[in-house]
Chain A
Amino acid sequence: MRRFAIGLAGHPADGDDLCQMTIERALSRREQWQEGTRLDSWAYRIMRNIWIDESRARQRRGQTFIDEEAGLLVGADGAQEARIELGDIDRAMARLPEEQREAVLLVMVEGYSYKEAAEIVGCPVGTLNSRLVRGRDALMALLGEGS
C-alpha cells in the first residue's frame, strides 16, 4: 500500500498521508468489503479514489504542486531521501496524466493483471491497456529509452 501511495503521490510523506487516509476510510467502511474478494484491490480502489479527490480539491484551491521543490529542499540537507526525490523516474512519473500513472503503477510496479487493474480503476480492460501503453511510451521518451 505504501508503495502504491508513494507512486501515486510522488512523494514519500504525501504517500504516507494518503496511506493513513486510506486505512481510516477502509476501517470505517470495513463492512463493505466482500469476503472472497481481494482485500488489497479493495484498499487500492479506496486509495486511488481518495487521491483523485485530493488532487481535484487541490486544483480547486489553486495550489500548485510543491513536491518537486520540496524534494530539492530535503536534498539540501544531504539526506538520503534526496535519492528518491530527485530520481529521473519520479520526475518522469510526475509528468504523466493521473490515469496513465496509475495504470503504469498498478501493472508494472504492483504486478496486477490488466483485468484486476481495470477493476481497481473502474475502466474497461482495453482502456487500461491503452493507458498503460501511452504512459509507458511517455515514460520511455522522458527517460530517454524510447526505441
Chain B
Amino acid sequence: MTITPEELAAFADGELTGADKERVAAAIARDESLARQLEAHCALKARLAGHFAPVLEQPIPDRLTQMLTNDVKDEPGAANVVDFAVAREERAAKRLLPAWGWGGAVAASIAAVVVLSTYSGEPGPGYAGTQIAQMLDAQTIAEQPTDADKRVLLSFRNRDGEFCRAYNAAGEGGIACRDAKGWRLEATGQGEVGGKAQYRMAGSDREILEIAQEMAVGEALDADAEVAARKAGWRD
C-alpha cells in the first residue's frame, strides 16, 4: 500500500490517529526510504524550530509593549499607525546610507574604473590589485572608519570554503575570494579585467550585494571571526 508524502507528513506531525496511524507506522517499519523521509521531516522541523527560537529570547521592542500597556483609546491613535511601506523605506535608507555612501559616489563608481593590471607586482589578471589586496588582507569591518573610501562591506565563506569579501574601494565595488595566488575577483563594478569577462559583471553595488548573498554559505563573519581569519591569512 502506498503512503503519500502528505500522509507521511501528517504522521510525523502527530496528525494521524487510529487505523491511519497504524497503517503508516507499519509501512514505515517495512520501508527504509519512508523511514528516512520521516527522519528528514523531523530533522527539518527541529532545525526550523531551533532557528526561530532565539526570537523568543530577545527583548520585545518597547514600541510593541507600549501599545499593550498604554491605556487603549477608543480611536486607534492615528498618529501612531505605522505605514508599513514608509517605515520600511526609512529603515532601508538608514541602512544604506552610512554603509554604502549611497548616492552620487555610487553612481560615479560604475564609471570610475581602476585598471588593476597597471599596478606592479600583480598576481595577474583576474586577481585584485595590490591596493585592494592590501585592504582585503588587513582591514576588518569593525575597525575600519565608516567614512573610509576603501571599505570592506562583508566577509563570508563561499561554497568551496574560501574566505570572500565584498568591498567598495573608492567607487569600485567587487567581491574577491582568497585562494593560493591572491584575492581572486569574483565580481567587480568594472565588468572586465584583463580583457576577459570571466566573472560576473556587477553593474552596481546593489548587484554586488546580491551576488554576495548568492555566494555566501552560512553566516557572515562577525568581528571576532574576521580577526581570526585575518590572523590565518584568510586561508585555512
Give A residues with C-beta under 8 Å from B: 2-3, 6-7, 12-14, 16-21, 23-24, 27-28, 54, 57-58, 61, 63, 66, 68-80, 82-91, 104, 107-109, 113-114, 126, 129-130, 132-133, 136-137, 139-140, 143, 145-147
**Contacts between the two chains (Cβ within 8 Å), count:** 160
A109 to B53, CA, bound (A): 9
A133 to B210, CA, bound (A): 29
Interface of A is mostly: helix
Q: List 22 A-B contacts (CB under 8 A).
A: A7-B52, A17-B82, A23-B68, A24-B82, A54-B84, A58-B85, A63-B85, A69-B206, A72-B154, A72-B212, A75-B154, A78-B142, A78-B226, A80-B222, A82-B222, A87-B219, A88-B217, A107-B13, A108-B13, A109-B48, A113-B13, A145-B40
Interface string of B198-222 (1 = CB under 8 A from A): 0000000010011011001111111
Given contacts A14-B88, A73-B100, A147-B33, contact A82 B55 (CB under 8 A): no
Given contacts A74-B95, A147-B36, contact A6 B55 (CB under 8 A): yes
A91 to B45, CA, bound (A): 16
Give B residues with C-beta under 8 Å from A: 5-6, 9-10, 13, 15, 33, 36-37, 40-41, 43-45, 47-49, 51-52, 54-56, 58, 60-61, 63-64, 67-68, 72, 76, 80-82, 84-85, 87-88, 91-92, 95-96, 99-100, 140-142, 152-154, 156, 166, 206, 209-210, 212-213, 216-223, 226
